[in-house]
Structure 1
Amino acid sequence: MQYSIENQHLKITVKQTGAELCRIQSTVTGKDFMWNADPSVWSSYAPVLFPVIGAIKNGFVKYNGQEYAVPRHGIVRNNSNVVLVSQSTDSLTFGLTFSEETLAIYPFKFEFQITYQLEDNKVVVSHQVVNHGSDEMLFSLGAHPAFKCPLHDDEVYEDYYLEFEAVENDATWLLEKDGLVGKQTKPVLEHTNVLHLNAHLFDNDALIFKHLISKQVSLRSTKSGQVITVHYEDFPYLGIWAKPNAHFICIEPWLGIADSADSDQNFETKEGILKLEAGKTFEAAFTIEINE
């Protein structure tokens, strides 16, 4: 099932399964801004990442002497147990709560909610995590939205670039074949705030940035100037990814990161892991801004 809301600028649609944003459309021009999830290329739109991001070493984490096979990108993605919690004229809230099924692969009594709210030409994506257990809860949280690129029929992928709000000096951490973060880095942003897109930019998988100054990045075209800006003040890591030669670009704010190749697999020592006290609530949000 899918749910839609709209205002004078935008219409958005969200799949109940996985609480996945699957469409951002201009109500003025009718233009679509999200990737169409072509199954022959990549069959997702914008997976929700919780309670892990990316790959887990050997497919499991260790916690209190037990092994838990948390799936890649977590347990919300593609989950048909996600429910619609509330709907208003300008917002949709979806939720997933712990169960015997989740406790078998993730040992915490969580409540997860994600809200999509329209504010003028912006989509505000808010996350809320509640720890209903008696122990400290460990988790990561992230987004994986894929934006259509190019946006216009008379453009090509190479017409587009990412513009960061600040001049950056940051390298990508290279992923190994199993999706784990290696020890080697590769220069990407050197005294610049611009990253030009090309068909081979992601030949070695995602670009992973740990030390960006910027808290927003815009997708721009040298021809049309059209812009999508992602504001991610609450998220310290950023992933940029696409399938090679695919017509999309993922801009991924992360609170957490995939396992490193030398990880000891202990959940408590996982890089970027968040810790939430019993009975407490965690909140984080990012914003997608559409400028036509």
Structure 2
Amino acid sequence: MNQIENNFLSVGILSKGAELCSIKNLKTNKEYIWQANPEIWSSHAPNLFPIIGALKNGEFFFENKPFQLPKHGIIRNNDNIKLKEKNPDSLIFNLKYSEETLKSYPFKFNFEIKFQLIEKTLTVSNKITNLDDKAIYFSLGGHPAFNAPLYEGETYEDYYLEFDRKLDLNTWLLNDKGLISSETRPVLRDDNKIQLNKNLFDKDALIFKNIESKKVALKSRKSGTVLTVEYNDFKDLGVWAKPGAPYVCIEPWLGYADVEGTTQDIKTKEGIMELMPSKTFDASYTITIA
């Protein structure tokens, strides 16, 4: 584990996948990140690139050729990501394309992720550079899982998510193959609070396309605000946990899983990003501890 800390927090990042694995309050010793119990869900906060969620039949097509990618892409659990730079308040990790990555993702790219800690805010900055002579296509996202409840005497049902404005929100339902169906169901109507409960994720993640709010807080009715996530550079948001598990994932996304009616052509994949040769794309989100 690679670590940075200040007077308020310590932050841990695993070398494998450059995965955030700890945000600990140094005064209270409280851990905010889910500790990856393998009997429930064995991740902390995987980085999602160049896809989010599942592909139809586990593959996409580029120029009529099939390519297989695992759920959430090639950064998660990747041992080839290298620590590029370490400073007192930041860590920068890097993965450049290789002959191995080209087998499953036929684009030349550089992926860089920076974790910077200033006071009680951790900024997670992604930078994608197109090293190819053609446009590259990708999605990008975060998947941090936060402990809930955090304090003794609290239950999961004491916790809720509060957006910075009232919203009308529908979630897009997933089918049994993890693809987004054409069916939606309402989550909020002129409201800003999603109450956590053990059945909230019985039908998998809540998927909010083009969400207007770019700031959401995890709060407890007993202990108040726990943390806030801001994601101005991300147009979509996922919220998820294993049903009944004591955490909640707040996931800033650019893109999402394949829709049921996909052609599987990555160029026309719904929610996909296009980046021209020699260009760089940046997107950041922040986690602020209360």
Shorter chain as denominator, the TM-score bin is over 0.9
TM-score, scaled relative to structure 2: 0.99
Residue 2 of structure 2 corresponds to which residue in structure 1? 3
Q: Secondary structure at the match of 1:238?
A: strand
Q: Any idea what the Cα deviations from partners look like across 1:174-208, whole Å, max 9, x if unmatched?
A: 00011100000000011100110000000000000
Q: Secondary structure at the match of 1:174?
A: strand
Residue 121 of structure 2 corresponds to which residue in structure 1? 122
Q: Is the 8 A contact 1:112 1:130 kept in 2?
A: yes
1:111 alignment partner AA: N
CA–CA separation in structure 2 for the residues paired with 1:23 and 1:133: 35
CA–CA separation in structure 2 for the residues paired with 1:61 and 1:226: 41
Confirm whether residue 111 of structure 1 aligns to residue 99 of structure 2.
Answer: no
| Equivalent residue runs for 1:123-272 within 5 Å | 123-272=122-271
Confirm whether residue 58 of structure 1 aligns to residue 25 of structure 2.
Answer: no
Residue 21 of structure 2 corresponds to which residue in structure 1? 22
Q: Is the 8 A contact 1:131 1:137 kept in 2?
A: yes
Q: Any idea what the Cα deviations from partners look like across 1:90-120, whole Å, max 9, x if unmatched?
A: 0001111100100000000010000000011
Q: Is the 8 A contact 1:55 1:73 kept in 2?
A: yes
Matched residues, percent identical? 50
CA–CA separation in structure 1 for the residues paired with 2:93 and 2:26: 24
CA–CA separation in structure 2 for the residues paired with 1:116 and 1:191: 35
Cα deviation, residue 71, structure 1: 1.3
Q: Secondary structure at the match of 2:100?
A: helix
Residue 12 of structure 1 corresponds to which residue in structure 2? 11
CA–CA separation in structure 1 for the residues paired with 2:193 and 2:169: 12
Cα deviation, residue 170, structure 1: 1.2
Cα deviation, residue 142, structure 1: 0.2
Cα deviation, residue 153, structure 1: 1.4
Residue 282 of structure 1 corresponds to which residue in structure 2? 281
Cα deviation, residue 226, structure 1: 3.2
CA–CA separation in structure 1 for the residues paired with 2:170 and 2:278: 38
2:27 alignment partner AA: V
Q: Secondary structure at the match of 1:151?
A: coil
CA–CA separation in structure 2 for the residues paired with 1:178 and 1:34: 28
Q: Is the 8 A contact 2:133 2:277 kept in 1?
A: yes
Runs in 1 of length 4+ with deviation above 2 angstroms?
Answer: none
CA–CA separation in structure 1 for the residues paired with 2:29 and 2:81: 29
Q: Secondary structure at the match of 2:224?
A: coil
1:11 alignment partner AA: S
1:103 alignment partner AA: L
Q: Secondary structure at the match of 2:101?
A: helix
Q: Is the 8 A contact 1:170 1:211 kept in 2?
A: no
Cα deviation, residue 29, structure 1: 1.4
Residue 45 of structure 2 corresponds to which residue in structure 1? 46
Q: Secondary structure at the match of 2:250?
A: strand
CA–CA separation in structure 1 for the residues paired with 2:154 and 2:214: 28
CA–CA separation in structure 2 for the residues paired with 1:70 and 1:199: 31
1:20 alignment partner AA: E
CA RMSD, 1 decimal: 0.6
Q: Any idea what the Cα deviations from partners look like across 1:238-262, whole Å, max 9, x if unmatched?
A: 0000001100000000011110011
Q: Secondary structure at the match of 1:158?
A: helix
Q: Any idea what the Cα deviations from partners look like across 1:115-167, whole Å, max 9, x if unmatched?
A: 00001100000000011010001011000000000010110000000000010
**Structure 1 portions without partners, runs of 5+:** none
Q: Is the 8 A contact 2:217 2:225 kept in 1?
A: no
Aligned length: 290
CA–CA separation in structure 2 for the residues paired with 1:52 and 1:210: 15
TM-score, scaled relative to structure 1: 0.98
Residue 80 of structure 1 corresponds to which residue in structure 2? 79
